[in-house]
Amino acid sequence: MSNRLINWFKFASPATFYPLAGKMIPVFWVLAALFGGFGLWLSFFVAPTDATQGEGYRIIFIHVPTSWMSMFIYMVMAAWAAMGLSLNARLSSMMAQALAPTGALMAFLSLWTGAFWGKPMWGTWWVWDARLTSELILFFLYLGFMALQASIDDPRRADKAGAIVALVGVVNVPIIYFSVKWWNTLHQGASVSINKSPSMAMTMLWGMLLMALCLWMYSIAMALTRVRAIILERESHTDWVKQLSEVKP
Amino acid sequence: MIWNSASDFFAMGGYGLYVWGSFGVCAVAFLVEPLMIAKRHKDIVRTLRRQAVAEKLEMENK
Amino acid sequence: MNAMLAVMRRDLLMVMRRKSEVLTALFFFVIVSSLFPLGIGPEPALLRKIAPGVLWVGALLATMLGLQRMFAADHADGTLEQMAISPTPLVWLVVGKVAAHWLVSGLPLVLMAPVLGIQFDLDPGALGVLMLALLLGTPLLSLIGAIGAALTLGVRGGGVLLSLLVLPLYVPALIFGAGAVESHISGLGAGGHLSLLAAILTLAVFFAPWAATAALRIALE
Please report the pLDDT score of residue A190 as a whole number. Answer: 41
The helix or strand, by DSSP H or E, that contains position B8, with its residue range, turns out to be helix B6-11
Residue type, A43: S
Residues 6+ apart with CB under 8 A from A125: A115, A118, A119
Of A63, A105, A228, the CB nearest to B22: A63
Contacts of residue A227, defined as CB under 8 A and 6 or more positions apart, other chains included, come to: A17, A21, A94, A95, A97, A98
Burial class of residue B13 in the structure, from the number of CB atoms within 10 Å of its CB (0-12 exposed, 13-18 middle, 19+ buried): middle
Q: Is A197 exposed, middle or buried (0-12, 13-18, 19+ CB in 10 A)?
A: middle
Residues of C in contact with A147 (CB under 8 A): 161, 164-165
Closest among C136, C148, C149 to C109, alpha carbons compared: C136
- For residue range C69-87, list pLDDT tens digits in order: 889 888 988 889 999 998 8
> For chain A, which chains pass the contact test of at least 3 CB pairs under 8 Å?
B, C
Provide the shortest C-alpha distance from residue A89 to chain B (in Å): 22
Q: Which residues contact C113 (CB under 8 A, 6 or more apart)?
A: C55, C59, C127, C130, C131, C134
Residue C42: pLDDT band (50, 70, 90) is confident
Report pLDDT digits (tens) over C162-211: 999 999 999 999 999 999 999 999 888 889 899 999 999 999 999 999 99
- Tell me which residues of chain B, numbers 13 to 32, contact chain A at a CB-CB cutoff of 8 Å: 13-15, 18-19, 21-23, 25-26, 29-30
pTM: 0.89
Largest CA distance in chain B: 76
Q: What local confidence, expressed as pLDDT, does residue A199 receive? A: 59
Contact B52 A117 (CB under 8 A): no
Q: How far apart are the first and last CA of chain A?
A: 38
Verify whether the Cβ–Cβ distance C211 to A144 is below 8 Å. Answer: no
Q: What is the mean pLDDT of residues A67-78?
A: 95
The phi and psi torsions of A50 (rounded to 5 degrees) equal -75, 145
For chain B, give the number of residues. 62
Pick A235 or A181 by higher pLDDT.
A235
Report ipTM for this prediction. 0.89
Task: Give residue-wise pLDDT tens across range C106-139.
Answer: 999 999 999 999 988 898 999 999 999 999 999 9
A168 → closest Cβ in C147, C183, C221: C147
Distance CA C193, CA A19 (A): 54
